[in-house]
Structure 1
């Protein structure tokens, strides 16, 4: 090994250039093998880079050796520049295509939304192309430091001008990544607004209210408010209502009647669930009535009002048949005898 290194250090001219090209070639081939093995072990699709990368290795190795060589020939500088330009363009375009293919695979592992995946793919591809353009300009001898400074100042000015748009954009990305709700979910905001989520895009979220109006809300307002997602973790939910009867009524009989009525309504009303069964409880001694609580389950939140209407109607009719009174609020006044004239 020592003899080989000594032999290499003593070589000059084109022989040294050839040995350097061979050393670069072996190093690049080993690096290419390790990178491809690492990425394929993680199930990344590298079909856009596998064959082109082999050609890049065989072009880049002699190019670097030729660039380092002290030997010259007519047109050497022009040849190196042309080959570097072609190689830079090829690497940039193939890498951008590979990033566009691999990024959805990577984001799908974190269950990213399709819209987020599309934006990330465009941003990554744009970043690769931008780096390639900067390398190309530097190869052509263009100073990129002033250009980067100008781009930084221009980007800051654009960011200030589009502050609201960018805040909505990043809020939209946050919503799509965190997924506090999805299209078709029924949600309620802390402002009291409630409805079905129609669409989530980069700038706004659209909600369809119960009155079939479409409300468009900027994403930054959505991200900064408290959200109750009634559709999660599952669309089924429990509903509760209270009915009061006169103090002269037998509470055991009233509870049995309510159980019968609730079972019939749950079995014959769209959206009402028979399982779990409705629960009836003697809840409270009210100021003018014995109060019973009825708890039942429905399939979707927006069916709550029609099911409650059907249940209340059935209870009223059954109580009328059974002679059970639903009392009005009563206030008893005492001490009136002291106010009567003597």
Structure 2
């Protein structure tokens, strides 16, 4: 081994002595060697990694390796360019500008890599149903845009450092400008933060049927950073600012673990009615309706002894909350007809007036 090293030294030493006076030739040699190393890293190393990750079932690692080619090549090649610049003994200002330019390009290339990597990772997480609740297709734009903003600010920070710009002074100035803008755009900012909290907390999602404490009821059609849109049963779209949605009491009719929705029909019968017959009629009316779910099955409850009636309640399940109004109407009609056929009286409050004569 020692003999081989000595032989290599004997061969290379004359070449080194010959090339030493020619700094431009040395710089060119450094660049060529850097280009060769970059190509080796891009093809040989990446190809080896691709063979290793090909055995896995996930496509995530394939995307990462594919995206890594360009930044790896650029980094190695730019290092050789920087070394060649030092070897040429350029004036210090020119060297500084060259290094800053190379650093800026390299940072932008790596920025593209991390943006692509973040998008791929978030997409994979959003498709893994039930494993990562915080990342869903509805919240994907929020996390994607937030990650892009952080990566862009980080890249900007390193670029400023490369050019010798005082970052602390810029941050202080940005803070003052941001404070001034926040006072002038309080409503817009509150809506944006409200939209971010809705997308992150997920009290509802697109397609859910919700009720607001202000009385609005409808299907969620869009969740944006500024507002949330509801489509009512009257085919009217309501746009609600997210600052109000974030502080409102919201009833999500489709937010439970099951998609089905329970409706209630209240009815009163006269005292003295056969309660077993009443319960049987209510059950039959609900069970015979084609749009009432068999599971869970309909149930009846005697809720109270009213002033003039026995107060019953029929509870039945339907597939979607949007059907509530129509099915309650149809059940009320069918209950009324069934009670009339069975001669069951539905009482109503009435007053008897007795007039006393003066005689």
Within the candidate set 104, 109, 114, 2:140 is matched to 114
Classify the secondary structure of the residue corresponding to 1:45.
Answer: helix
Contact 2:100–2:163 at 8 Å: present in 1 too? no
Within the candidate set 91, 94, 119, 1:104 is matched to 119
Structure 1 residues 143 and 287 mapped into 2: Cα distance closer, same or farther (>3 Å)? closer
In structure 2, the residue matched to 1:244 is 268
Contact 2:160–2:166 at 8 Å: present in 1 too? no
Matched, 1:53 2:72: yes
Structure 1 residues 217 and 55 mapped into 2: Cα distance closer, same or farther (>3 Å)? closer
Matches for 1:124-273 after TM superposition, within 5 Å: 124-138=150-164, 143=166, 145-233=168-256, 234-264=258-288, 266-267=289-290, 270=291, 272-273=292-293
Contact 2:142–2:196 at 8 Å: present in 1 too? yes
Residues 119-128 or 44-53, more deviating? 44-53
Matched residues in 2 for 1:59 and 1:326: separation?
Answer: 89
In structure 2, the residue matched to 1:81 is 96
Matched residues in 2 for 1:285 and 1:156: separation?
Answer: 63
Alpha-carbon shift at residue 296 of structure 1 (Å): 0.8
Q: Which string of whole-angstrom CA distances, capped at 9 and with x for unpartnered residues, describes residues 274-312 of structure 1? A: 222211233333222223221111111221121111111
Alpha-carbon shift at residue 66 of structure 1 (Å): 8.8
Q: Which string of whole-angstrom CA distances, capped at 9 and with x for unpartnered residues, describes residues 217-248 of structure 1? A: 11111111111111112331212222222223
Alpha-carbon shift at residue 95 of structure 1 (Å): 1.7
Residues 282-291 or 316-325, more deviating? 282-291
Matched residues in 2 for 1:53 and 1:261: separation?
Answer: 72
Contact 2:74–2:106 at 8 Å: present in 1 too? no
Matched residues in 2 for 1:136 and 1:306: separation?
Answer: 68
Classify the secondary structure of the residue corresponding to 1:182.
Answer: coil
Alpha-carbon shift at residue 152 of structure 1 (Å): 3.3
Question: Superposition RMSD on alpha carbons, in Å?
Answer: 3.5
Matched residues in 1 for 2:64 and 2:181: separation?
Answer: 36
Matched, 1:275 2:295: yes
Matched, 1:310 2:334: no
Alpha-carbon shift at residue 148 of structure 1 (Å): 4.1
Structure 1 residues 312 and 143 mapped into 2: Cα distance closer, same or farther (>3 Å)? closer
In structure 1, the residue matched to 2:319 is 299
Q: Which runs of 5+ in 1 are unaligned?
A: 1-13, 15-24, 26-32
Alpha-carbon shift at residue 84 of structure 1 (Å): 1.0
Residues 191-200 or 43-52, more deviating? 43-52
Contact 1:95–1:128 at 8 Å: present in 2 too? no
Alpha-carbon shift at residue 123 of structure 1 (Å): 0.8
In structure 2, the residue matched to 1:11 is none
Matched residues in 2 for 1:199 and 1:171: separation?
Answer: 14
Q: Which runs of 5+ in 2 are unaligned?
A: 1-19, 21-33, 35-44, 126-133
Matched residues in 2 for 1:52 and 1:324: separation?
Answer: 82
Contact 2:268–2:347 at 8 Å: present in 1 too? yes
In structure 2, the residue matched to 1:6 is none
Matched residues in 2 for 1:282 and 1:145: separation?
Answer: 72
